[in-house]
Amino acid sequence: MLLVRRRDLVCKQAVELVTLYLEGALTRRQRRRFEAHLRNCPNCSAYLEQIRATIKLTGSVEPDDLSPDAQAELTDLYRRWRAEE
């Protein structure tokens, strides 16, 4: 049985930090915890690489690139997702 320490991240937490990690927006402590999790979790490591590949293939989307309807739909989707937490 794998023992999880309080300071260790679980996969759900790691997945939620991927974007911040790729943007360089994590604190030094958060980054260390995230990278420690990746060293021991092939699934989260694979997920990170999938996100990197997606970004590389799709480029970036700026708010002005989206129609007002698309912006509203994404905002609504995000709010519903946050309400479920």
CATH number at residue 16: 1.10.10
Q: How many domains does the chain have?
A: 1
pTM given for the model: 0.62
In a domain, 36, yes or no: yes
Range of the domain at 15: 11-84
Indicate the helix (H) or strand (E) that contains 9.
Answer: none
Burial of 9 (0-12, 13-18, 19+ CB in 10 A): buried
In a domain, 15, yes or no: yes
Residue 80 has pLDDT above 70, yes or no: yes
Residue 4 has pLDDT above 50, yes or no: no
In a domain, 5, yes or no: no
In a domain, 4, yes or no: no
How does DSSP classify residue 26? S
Residue 5 has pLDDT above 70, yes or no: no
pLDDT of the residue at 27: 95
Structure tokens at 36: 């420690």
pLDDT for 10-59, tens place per residue? 888 888 899 999 999 999 999 999 999 999 999 999 999 999 998 888 88
**Which residue has 């590389």 as its token pair?**
56
In a domain, 1, yes or no: no
